[in-house]
Each structure stands twice: as structure tokens, then as C-alpha cells.
Homo-oligomer: A and B are copies of this chain.
Amino acid sequence: MSDELTRAQAIMVSKEHPRYASLILRNKLVEGYQRGIASAHGLIAHGRGEAFDYLLGEQTSESACNATKVACAHLLTARCAVLSVNGNTATLVPDEIAELQEIIGIAVEINLFHPSAQRTKRIADHLRDHGVANVLTGFDFVKLAHIASDRANVDKKGIFKADVVFAPLEDGDRAQVLTELGKTVMTVDLNPLSRTAVTSTVTIVDEVTRALKNLVSLADHVGSDGQRKELNLLKASFDNQENLKASYAIMLKQLRDLSR
């Protein structure tokens, strides 16, 4: 079916389209699917995110920016921080993952909702091609209780031993279980009402490429300009539920404005 997809991409990338940036991302994800990195369900999940991003005005909010700062503080002060990567994240932000690893030294673990050995290998190769080192693939895993999906299998050297788990585009079940295990769970989720958003310790309600770019930029500058103290203060006073409310408010306002 490559004929359809090639044609689709040729049509969609028109700079005049009111939602150009969103369409570019969409094409990137379709390409990731064609390459066997993203899953079919991942495409649908991306669509859900698009709808919520539309209601957020397709831009990073102040509350998302705050959550990103707090996430950065957690990463910088973690005993062992692990970034959990799925197909969509690997497709959309491989360079940012490599940069974050270089700056913070975060471990990277591939953990898929719809796993297969082939897809895990393709994702690992893709991440390595983009400069990510030491990709954990759950070869030596522990099975967490109370998670129905294969995301229960976590790497012994990764999520299992981490105190801070950064899992963009997470699923609700696991976010809750990891939090109950006493881990600090941080996520990127465009739906502020999702179980993932509500049960995580820190939820960045933002589109994942915007969020990761901001996080890399923050991590890159924090040492040099003394922002570290400010980030730690933010971390101490951060209330995830309160912060999520700001996203609801934006969506409500946007819906009201658009419906006029």
C-alpha cells in the first residue's frame, strides 16, 4: 500500500493548511508505522492526541511548561531515572531522547503496549541510529502485578530499579501501578482527563515533540544559569491535580471560543 501513503504525504504537506505542523507530525507517524516502528493502535492513539491538542490550541501552555520544569527537576535529582519509550515516542522524538540521555545520563528502555521481538529490535536500531546508547529492551525482565498488558514486563536494569520513570504516552494501568510501587512517574499526555494523566506524579499536558524539545532545552541550560534552585522549589510545591485543572480550563475556554 505504499502507493497510497506516498500520495497521501504529497497531498498533506501544504504550508497553507491551517494545521500544517500537525499534519507534518501525522505524516512522520505514518512513516514510522510503515517502517514497523509505530503500531496501528499507535496511529489511532496519535489521532486522539490530535483532538485534545486542537482543544489546547496546539501550543504549550503555562501549566505544561511548569510540569516540564518539575519533570526536569525530578530527572536531575533522581537516583536512577529511566525513560520508557514506545513506538510513537521513538518515531516522533528520537533525537530528543538522544540529547536528553547525553545531558542527564538517563537510561532508555523500550516498553511496548503491543510488543513483538521484531518491533522492539527495529525501535532499538532506530534509536541507536539517532545516537541513543545502551538501549534496554526488557530482555532480562520482571513482571509487575496488576497490569493486564505486556507493559507489565519491565527491565531489571531499567524501570524495575528506577526511582523516577519518565514514560511519555503511557497507559493508565501501568502509571497507577508504578506510582503505587513508590516510583515517581512522569508522563506526557494530551488528555488531562486520562487515567495516566490523573495517576502520574507529574503530567505534562502537551504534544510530545514540543514537550521533549522544551525538556531538553531546560536540562541543557539548568547547570549554567542557576535555574536548578528554582526547579527544585517548583518540584517541592508542585500539585499535579491542581496543574491539570489549568489544562481543563484551557480546553473549556477553547471550546467556548470555537463554538461562537
Cβ-defined partner of A47 (8 Å) among B7, B30, B51, B244: B51
Residue of B nearest to A117 (CB): B3
> Which chain B residues lie closer than 8 Å to A208 at the CB level?
none
Cβ-defined partner of A30 (8 Å) among B41, B54, B150: B41
> Which chain B residues lie closer than 8 Å to A41 at the CB level?
8, 12, 26, 30
Contact A114 to B193, CB < 8 A, known contacts A26-B41, A48-B50, A119-B1 = no
Contact B193 A258 (CB under 8 A): yes
Interface residues of A (CB under 8 A from B): 1, 3-5, 7-8, 11-12, 14, 26, 29-30, 33-34, 36, 39-41, 43-52, 54, 113-116, 118-119, 148-150, 191-193, 244-245, 248, 251-252, 255-256, 258-259
Supplied contacts A8-B113, A40-B43, 19 more A-B pairs, CB within 8 Å: A1-B40, A5-B40, A7-B150, A8-B40, A8-B41, A11-B148, A43-B43, A44-B47, A48-B48, A48-B51, A49-B51, A51-B51, A51-B52, A51-B191, A193-B259, A245-B259, A248-B259, A252-B252, A252-B259
Ordered by A's residue number, 14 sampled pairs between the chains whose C-beta atoms are within 8 Å are A1-B39, A1-B40, A4-B114, A7-B116, A8-B40, A11-B149, A11-B150, A26-B44, A44-B46, A51-B191, A193-B258, A248-B258, A248-B259, A252-B259
